[in-house]
Amino acid sequence: MEASTGVSSPPKTSLELKTRRAQFKTQASTLDTRRRHAVCVRRAFKKYGPKNNPNVILDGLNMTVPKGTIYGMLGASGCGKTTLLSCIVGRRRLNSGEIWVLGGRPGSKGSGVPGPRVGYMPQEIALYNEFSIRETFIYFGWNAGMTTEQIDNKLEFLLKFLQLPSEHRFIKNLSGGQQRRVSFAVALLADPELLILDEPTVGVDPVLRQNIWTHLVEITKEGNKTVIITTHYIEETRQAGIIGLMRSGKLLAEESPTKLMEIHNLDSLEDVFLKLSKRQNMGLRRRSSILSSVTGVPPEDPPEDEMSGEFGDNVSVSSRTRRVAVDDENVPELPPEEKGSNNFQMINPQHMKALIWKNFLWMWRNVGMMLFIFGLPVVQIVLFCLSVGKDPVGLNIAIVNKELNNTNDPCVPTVGCDWSLLSCRYLQHLKKRSVEFVPYDTDDDAKNAVERGWAWAAITFPANYSECLTERLEDGKDADDWSIAFSRMMIIMDMSNQQIGQLLQRYIYKSYEDFARDVTVACNYSGKYASIPINFEEPIYGPEEPNFTDFVAPGVILTIIFFLSVALTSGAMLLERNEGLLERSLVSGITGTEILMGQVITQFVVMLGQSIMVLVFAFAVFDITCEGDVVWICVLTLLTGFCGMSFGFTVAGVTENERSATYMVMGSFLPIIMLCGIIWPTEGMHIILKYISYVLPLTKSTESMRAMLARGWSISNPTVYNGFISTFIWIFIFMTLSILLIKFKKG
């Protein structure tokens, strides 16, 4: 089929001229049909159905909803009603076919669908339990562009009409039927052109159900309102102008209730539906037998205007003529009045006002949870500072001092230039390192204590330790082997714990230097005489004895802020999505970008408070080393938290529920902790893992933070600004993925 616009070659034959005229007439007729009807669905095919029944499909479904009428869609649960409605409001997409709603394609620029032209009531309650009825109306009313005064006026009518309690009652305190009525009222609030109601009368008493139907009939009388309603109560749809009977993703019939009963000579719509369902089952069995007798070639579908329910296809009992689906390029341009009334904006200030107000109100209504969220990072940084990086104390050391006559004899150190009982004098210096001595009689007993874990080391002093050490110092190079051998302490250590083992070794070495300096100075020798001929000058960066806390603190601070932001944002997004709140907001016209921006603004305030609390406790309370500019340290912390928020949005978009999100966050936690240089330098990793660590979110930012805290480097240093650049790149990646997931992951 050629395009209906543009320059085309002149027809060469009268037959070709007639063909073109027929094509233009078909296009004009199709466009006129789309303008006159509220919803047109043509040859709709969707491979995957709703989540709870993924085997349901929409197969070649045709549906027409005239303006100013009530269209009742009937069918059992799982037949595809909700899936079709999601396609109509633009939240799901067809694999093939086309849908026209209010003169435009759902989701197209300026169509108003999703938007305020459509009022949507989903199957779920999809309301905020912590909000009152009035607050719920304010949120959805602002989304629709209404003023607060207009909302209050409409609220008074809907409360009376739907027999709802006080406007100040919270949603969570309402009964199930009252909650559904509030959900229905939200759909009516903005007086939309098209009402799509997914089982609105479930749990409603018969009198109120009749009042609802009476109201729906009244608003469609003038012809400017259209209603699509799904229900399990088949007989209540007698008041509908047209009903569509759906089963297994197919439309069995589409006609007025009275005409359907007349055609089938039945007194109730339930009998009509039962008859058509039996005919469909008969057709499925017949098709199965036909296919088994043919060599693998399935039969073609019958024409759309043929009653073909016996073969499981669409059954059309109407005398309507067949409608032709026109290709995209052949659809003439719609006039402005058919394109929708709302202007396309990337960020709508009214929407942002509603979203930010809603998010902060939710936080205010969950004070206990918010206090926990603010207190959790403080608890974590306090636990870290109190438990990690401090030198162990009270370590047991087994002592076998053969210079003493008896193990129980007191080991009294000498003073001044006294070369007796040097073992006790050395132990006096070692005792200052906060270790505990456990005396033993023999070397075997001391070794056994180490083997059983009763002591971390065993030190043995020979019986003539002081005399041999004195001779060794006096004779120097002329000292005999006997003096050299017995002037040494014998040490056996448990090195299974690297931190404790190396710490004890350092204690033993440092204590011996102090001991030797004490004795030589007391005997009028220079203190350098007993020192190792290596002189460590004052370090350029860091203290002479660095502690593990200062090394780990930068990564721990960033990790706390990052993963708390991940948990906070992913939890908030999943809560809204799984309760239907996100879907309802999107149908009301809010875009994915606006939802993300609203969450970013509110969650950033929370993350700002968390970051301030963490930094105050880390630097002001526990005095973690901070040599750099505090401003840039705070900026990097906030950017890392923002990066975590963005990752949380991505997690919420990828996963289906809170459990999957928890697994994903936990699965990413340990690799980031181990590979980003937080608890161990990247220089000690395998070469492949080292390259992998360079592209992880916290590696460069941790290096940058560590350089600012320990070295005092400024933002002009490459190590520092590379951390900022890396964080910005990851924020861009995560936010882009989040927007795409919200936009294209329907349902």
Buried b / exposed e over 377-391, threshold 16 CB at 10 Å, is bbebbeebbeeebee
Q: What is the pLDDT of residue 314?
A: 36
Confidence of residue 629 (pLDDT cuts 50, 70, 90): very high
pLDDT digits (tens, 9 = 90+) for 630-649: 999 999 999 999 999 999 99
Across the chain, mean pLDDT equals: 81
Q: What is the pLDDT of residue 2?
A: 38
224 dihedral zone (left: phi>0; alpha: psi -120 to 50; beta)? alpha
Backbone angles phi, psi at 559, to 5 degrees: -65, -40
The amino acid that residue 406 corresponds to is N
Backbone angles phi, psi at 623, to 5 degrees: 55, 45
Alpha carbon 460 to its chain centroid, in Å, reads: 60
pLDDT digits (tens, 9 = 90+) for 279-320: 877 765 554 444 444 444 444 443 333 333 322 333 333 333
**Strands 37-46, 58-66: pairing kind:** antiparallel
DSSP state string for 409-425: S------SS--SSHHHH
**Among residues 631, 655, 646, which one has the least CA distance to residue 708?**
631
**Cβ neighbours for 130, distance < 8 A, ≥ 6 positions apart:** 170, 171, 172, 361, 362, 365, 366
CA distance 154 to 727: 47
Q: Which of 426-435, 576-585, 590-599 has the highest mean pLDDT?
A: 426-435
**Among residues 254, 220, 195, 244, which one has the least CA distance to residue 68?**
220
Backbone angles phi, psi at 222, to 5 degrees: -75, -15
**Among residues 488, 670, 471, 703, which one has the least CA distance to residue 563?**
670
- State the pTM of this model: 0.74
- Residue that has been written with the tokens 């549906």 in this structure: 63
Backbone angles phi, psi at 184, to 5 degrees: -65, -40
Mean pLDDT along residues 448-469:
93
**Among residues 211, 177, 183, which one has the least CA distance to residue 197?**
183
The amino acid that residue 119 corresponds to is G
- Do the Cβ atoms of 452 and 392 come closer than 8 Å? no
743 or 601, which is more confident? 601
Q: What is the pLDDT of residue 204?
A: 75
For the chain, give the number of residues.
Answer: 747
Q: Which of 57-61, 103-107, 229-233, 690-694 has the highest mean pLDDT?
A: 690-694
Q: What is the pLDDT of residue 614?
A: 94
Alpha carbon 528 to its chain centroid, in Å, reads: 62
Confidence of residue 18 (pLDDT cuts 50, 70, 90): low
- Residue that has been written with the tokens 């089929």 in this structure: 1
Lowest mean pLDDT of 6-15, 428-437, 596-605, name the range: 6-15
DSSP 78: T
Q: What is the pLDDT of residue 65?
A: 84
CA distance 257 to 255: 6
- Do the Cβ atoms of 226 and 67 come closer than 8 Å? yes
Q: What is the pLDDT of residue 474?
A: 82
Q: What is the pLDDT of residue 719?
A: 94
CA distance 30 to 12: 27
- Do the Cβ atoms of 402 and 461 come closer than 8 Å? yes
pLDDT digits (tens, 9 = 90+) for 222-243: 767 889 988 777 777 888 888 8
Mean pLDDT along residues 596-609:
91
The amino acid that residue 726 corresponds to is S
**Cβ neighbours for 561, distance < 8 A, ≥ 6 positions apart:** 377, 607, 610, 611, 614, 637, 640, 641, 644
**Helix locations, 366-464, DSSP H:** 367-387, 422-431, 443-451
CA distance 384 to 91: 46
**Helix locations, 174-245, DSSP H:** 176-189, 206-221
**Cβ neighbours for 570, distance < 8 A, ≥ 6 positions apart:** 648, 649, 651, 652, 655, 661, 665
